[in-house]
A and B are shown apart, each in its own frame.
Chain A
Amino acid sequence: GAVVSQHPSWVICKSGTSVKIECRSLDFQATTMFWYRQFPKQSLMLMATSNEGSKATYEQGVEKDKFLINHASLTLSTLTVTSAHPEDSSFYICSARFGRAETQYFGPGTRLLVL
């Protein structure tokens, strides 16, 4: 149980384009989903927390107009990187949990390369 999927696994895009990443909880209802970013050999960095049906809460320094998060259902959250630039190239990982005191389970991650 507690399986989280992400799609796509890999994205290569041109600078200036927008990229959408999907995160799905496959066998449980995720009241909260989290989006992280991780640069090579660095720690996980929380970008935002989203609760189903409400606006995401962004961490300090994360541009909410650039990283659009939608959590429209209890099993799906999307992250859209708008007008991507090479410095946005990173490993984006989502996680999901059922209740506020529950374990976070991670998706497999999405590698984004912006050329």
Chain B
Amino acid sequence: GQNIDQPTEMTATEGAIVQINCTYQTSGFNGLFWYQQHAGEAPTFLSYNVLDGLEEKGRFSSFLSRSKGYSYLLLKELQMKDSASYLCAVMDSNYQLIWGAGTKLIIKP
């Protein structure tokens, strides 16, 4: 079967750095996506990785290792507005997105 694993919940402090991990087992691989979803809102696209390595976009970075079936989302200089759920999704060989259950990130002052 196909599955995406990510922690259910994480807590971090404002101004700190947090890393949200995602491991996956899918039928084929056509890229990995990270989305942010604030409570009561729709997801918004954060990043896309298809090759190994680190993609940096402002305070957010995403890393991929295809051989390990592993990705992480790194958030720096955390702000209270970063409190949200972070969804990892992998596009399989049929170009279907397989979704993780999401990681709820709680930022404390």
A interface residues, Cβ below 8 angstroms from B = 2, 43-44, 46, 49, 91, 93, 100-101, 103-109
Contact = CB atoms under 8 A, between A and B. Distances in A.
A105 B33 CA distance: 11
B91 A107 contact: no
A25 to B, nearest CB: 14
Interface residues of B, number: 19
Contacts of B30: 101
Contact of B42 (A49, A100, A107): A107
Contact of B43 (A2, A44, A46, A49): A44
Contacts of B40: 91
Contacts of A107: 42
Interface of B: 30-31, 33, 35, 40-45, 48, 87, 91, 95-97, 99, 101-102
Counting from the closest, the 9 A-B pairs by CB-CB distance are: A100-B95, A106-B42, A109-B42, A43-B101, A93-B42, A106-B43, A108-B42, A103-B45, A44-B99
B41 A108 contact: yes
Contact of A103 (B33, B42, B99, B101): B33
A1 to B, nearest CB: 11
Given A44-B87, A103-B33, A109 B41 contact: yes
